[in-house]
Amino acid sequence: MKTIAFTILLLLSDLALATNLRGRVDIRHPYTGDLFPASGATVELIVFTNFGPQLVYTYFTGSDGMYYMPNIIPGNYILRINGYLDYQVQVVNMPYQDLQPVLMQ
């Protein structure tokens, strides 16, 4: 019984340190130069471990260009947009973390 209680406490402590990430992906219109939300863009969160890069989370942006990634453990990650645009991200311990908008060219 003590083992079960200890395991539950460990799981809850990890969730207490988790952050909800949110951000936006925009695209520039090729003729007018106006910015529009990038609907349906693939956003991946990748962490580097001793075994190489590990995919943590994948999300597709909504019609508003927004993405949401719940319960991310604080640390250093790579945010990859559509498989080729990489951005370094440092996730901190807070309930929500807004990331800078990403512009796809």
CB 72 within 8 A of CB 56: yes
Number of domains in the chain: 1
pLDDT tens digits, residue range 53-94?
999 999 999 999 999 999 999 999 999 999 889 999 999 999
Torsion angle (degrees, nearest 10) of CA 51, 57, 61, 62: 170
* Region of 87 on the Ramachandran plot (φ > 0 left; ψ -120 to 50 alpha; else beta): beta
Chain centroid to CA 64: how far?
A: 16
How far apart CA 71 and CA 33 sit, in angstroms, is 36
Structural domain harbouring 49:
2-104
Single pTM value for the model:
0.78
Q: In this structure, what CATH number is given to the domain that contains residue 20?
A: 2.60.40.10
